[in-house]
Chain A
């Protein structure tokens, strides 16, 4: 268990550095676009497309960090009224449901790669598989974090220890 946890922590911290870098590059690229248009008076043909693909990656990688940090909010009103023991099992169920969705993201995210990998992007002429694989990679990371959290919750529920974040 602790080995898996450490691995996931390491993967997540890599993802954090990655989104940092991607976001910084995205800022620079769009800023350059503005500078080129007004100062040098010629526009960059690739800047908008590159920035968009960077954002796609930021969103799906960032969403996986969000799963790890539990920052995707839900509607807590009803669950908050349940007794502790039931709340624990509902959060296990919620994790399981999320895992189902992430599995679909991974499966169809991989399937769509086969379709788009032969297409080239209009401006930079890179394979469309590069931006599209963000869905697959992000989905896989989200699944990994979510599944591990579910297993942890189940161990806690069965062994009767208190839920950490309750």
Chain B
């Protein structure tokens, strides 16, 4: 039965069947082949997977991000970042990375981040004489910070799946996000120095203050979200809905850049974005239910632990697996299929579930920018107007620095665990 499950899954994937349907069809094939499970379970599991209050944070954070994007927030974040770091060599690359970190603290998705910040900054970098592939590579990789800096949709899904507190995961992602952001900046700076990309003039204190005031309402949003969750005031879902209300009020009444027709598009696109993610969650829940019922996680754990019980070796193997899967697979589906299989293995060798969640999210984020497949690359190329071949070369130094960061994160659990522990929520 497990053979049918995985065999048909690979077959449907290779054919380019949409991921949610491929996973659903594979589960259905296994159910029909076994003959022992009534197929109506398929519909029942799909329903219960979606019927979840914690998962409602997904549509809300998507909506909040897109209200912010169309409400004029991204430009203000960019201006503020520019007034601080614009003066360094390759200053605009720093701006792209820092603005993406700000935006990541509002939105929980990487693609949204590349689109929101990249549409402003990729053209700006090109106008300043940066190579288009370099500019696009900076922005595509910076966008992945969107899933590391809280809030984060993959972390919500990991939390719902494993029972690890979503609030603790969010907090655990902060330092890793800074680490990855920092290593991206380092690479961007080295390349910019070599190519002679100059920065802007140093911004005056008054200018920094002015852009800060302009961006303050946007910068307050993460404070409200995270403060609310850690103060024990909101659940993550409630924090997300407060973020939606906040984004709506600012975009509509303060910045006045939102209009009713824009709002309709935002709502429809949020629904589609939510539906594509949740449809994958729905069918994957059937898939992972079959996996668990067939005791596949135990079998995999035994197989892996029979090769080695050395945590370093096992974590290295898992990192390689995650990087590979992340390159070819969509993030949400990877999490739902891999986590139930891998978590029992790593907990047996003493890896903390929260730490493992961060490892998974960062690895899969790298997969979003690894050629030949990577959603952030595609979006970046679309904005920069360049081909995948030309960005593929430019993006490697950045990917290497991210891999280095992920190795640090893997072998130093402290980076992911210190903040949640200090805050006393883990």
Contact = CB atoms under 8 A, between A and B. Distances in A.
Interface of A: 16, 19-20, 22-24, 26-27, 30-31, 33-34, 38, 48, 51-53, 55-56, 58-63, 65-66, 69, 71-79, 90-91, 93-94, 97-98, 100-101, 104-105, 108-109, 111-112, 115, 131-132, 134-135
Given A38-B233, A72-B18, A77-B328, 12 more contacts: A19-B268, A31-B241, A55-B50, A58-B59, A63-B275, A65-B272, A66-B276, A71-B272, A75-B13, A90-B15, A98-B18, A131-B47
B310 interface: no
Contacts of B244: 27, 31
22 contacts: A30-B60, A31-B242, A34-B234, A52-B56, A55-B56, A59-B275, A59-B278, A61-B271, A62-B271, A65-B272, A72-B18, A73-B18, A74-B19, A75-B373, A78-B15, A93-B15, A98-B21, A101-B28, A104-B42, A108-B40, A108-B43, A112-B47
B6 interface: no
Nearest to A59: B278
Interface string B290-304: 000000000000000
A60 B275 contact: yes
B162 interface: no
Contacts of B245: 27, 31
Contacts of B146: none
Nearest to A105: B43
Interface of B: 12-22, 24-25, 28, 39-40, 42-44, 46-47, 50-53, 55-56, 59-60, 63, 233-234, 237-238, 241-242, 244-245, 264, 267-268, 270-272, 274-276, 278-279, 282, 328-330, 372-373
Given A19-B268, A53-B51, A94 B15 contact: yes
A101 B267 CA distance: 28
Contacts of A55: 50-51, 55-56, 59, 274, 278
A12 B373 CA distance: 31
A63 to B, nearest CB: 4
B231 to A, nearest CB: 12
Contact of A73 (B14, B19, B47, B267): B19
A158 B5 CA distance: 34
Contacts of B55: 55
Contacts of A31: 241-242, 244-245
Given A30-B237, A58-B274, A20 B267 contact: yes
Given A27-B241, A73-B276, A94-B15, A20 B53 contact: no
Given A23-B59, A55-B56, A76 B373 contact: yes
A135 B14 CA distance: 27
Contacts of A91: 16
A103 B391 CA distance: 42
A163 to B, nearest CB: 14
Given A23-B63, A74-B19, A108 B39 contact: yes
A48 B268 CA distance: 22
A132 to B, nearest CB: 6
B51 A52 contact: yes
Contacts of A66: 272, 275-276, 279
Q: Which 10 A-B pairs have the closest CB atoms?
A: A62-B275, A72-B18, A19-B271, A62-B271, A74-B16, A79-B16, A63-B275, A20-B267, A30-B241, A59-B278
B329 A61 contact: no
B279 A63 contact: yes
Given A55-B50, A56-B47, A76 B16 contact: yes
A111 B44 CA distance: 11
B378 to A, nearest CB: 10
B279 A72 contact: yes
Contacts of A59: 50, 274-275, 278-279, 282
In this complex, the member of B13, B44, B244, B267 whose beta carbon has the largest number of chain A beta carbons within 10 angstroms is B267
B18 to A, nearest CB: 4
A97 B274 CA distance: 23
A38 to B, nearest CB: 7
B276 A72 contact: yes
A95 to B, nearest CB: 9
Nearest to A102: B21
In this complex, the member of A16, A19, A97, A101 whose beta carbon has the largest number of chain B beta carbons within 10 angstroms is A101
A101 B276 CA distance: 16
Contacts of B20: 63, 72
